[in-house]
Chains A and B, each alone.
Chain A
């Protein structure tokens, strides 16, 4: 079945450590996105990528980094510079950067202790 796979579902890390969240899609979509979700705040865009080897900062990129070396993969690294990293992270994709219908993965809940 086609879809978006995020792993792991739950992740615990110590404060000060970098951590990488995985996102893989087999939908042959060009565009991929990372969102952060906090209670009562909806979803906020961290980074997006319209094509391979290209990505742009979203609204809350500070303390995060991404790469897009393959069309199907868009990993997100939460660095130690992110002041409040504990959150639910959602990866999404769409057919193209112009497409407005996004498909979402199941999310990764990151807890930093």
Chain B
């Protein structure tokens, strides 16, 4: 079974500083990778996704992530954060899973990283 590890449960950072949120996954086979953001008491919004192609993926709000197959990592970065980036971030991995005789794309989530941007 897939597993996703977000190495930091909380990341405090000052405004305009760079930030990296780390994510490692377990599978060595082809997977799809995602980062989602969640603001308090809201649903998840897709930040970016890696399906294939270039290993550097750009997303919304100035975020980017780099897929590293040899290290099974998909770290999220932003060169300069804003107060409004304060939220919880989830890394997710998807692959095809068989259940009940059919295949479906199953998302496995990490535990989340709370990013707090201080003025």
Contacts and interface: CB of A to CB of B under 8 A. Distances in A.
- A and B interact: yes
Interface of A: 4, 6, 9, 31, 33, 40-45, 48, 50, 56, 88, 90, 92, 94, 97-107, 109
Contacts of B29: none
A11 to B, nearest CB: 13
Interface string B71-94: 000000000000000000010001
Interface stretch (B12-20, B39-47, B56-64): B39-47
Would you list the 9 A-B pairs with minimal beta carbon distance, nearest first?
A: A104-B43, A100-B94, A97-B104, A42-B109, A100-B105, A104-B44, A43-B109, A100-B32, A42-B111
A40 B107 contact: no
Contact of B46 (A31, A44, A97, A101): A101
Name, among A4, A43, A88, A90, the residue most crowded by chain B CB atoms within 10 Å (CB to CB).
A43
Contacts, number: 65
Interface residues of B, number: 28
Q: Do most interface residues of chain B lie in helix, strand or loop, or is the interface mixed?
A: strand
Interface string B102-119: 111111011110000000
Given A40-B112, A42-B111, A107-B43, A101 B49 contact: yes
B78 to A, nearest CB: 21
Contact of A50 (B36, B45, B102, B112): B102
Contact of A101 (B9, B34, B41, B43): B34
Nearest to B110: A42
B53 interface: no
17 contacts: A6-B43, A40-B9, A41-B111, A43-B44, A43-B90, A43-B107, A44-B109, A45-B107, A50-B102, A56-B100, A92-B44, A100-B32, A100-B51, A100-B94, A100-B105, A104-B43, A109-B41
A26 to B, nearest CB: 15
B43 A94 contact: no
B79 to A, nearest CB: 26
Contacts of B109: 42-44
Contacts of A6: 43
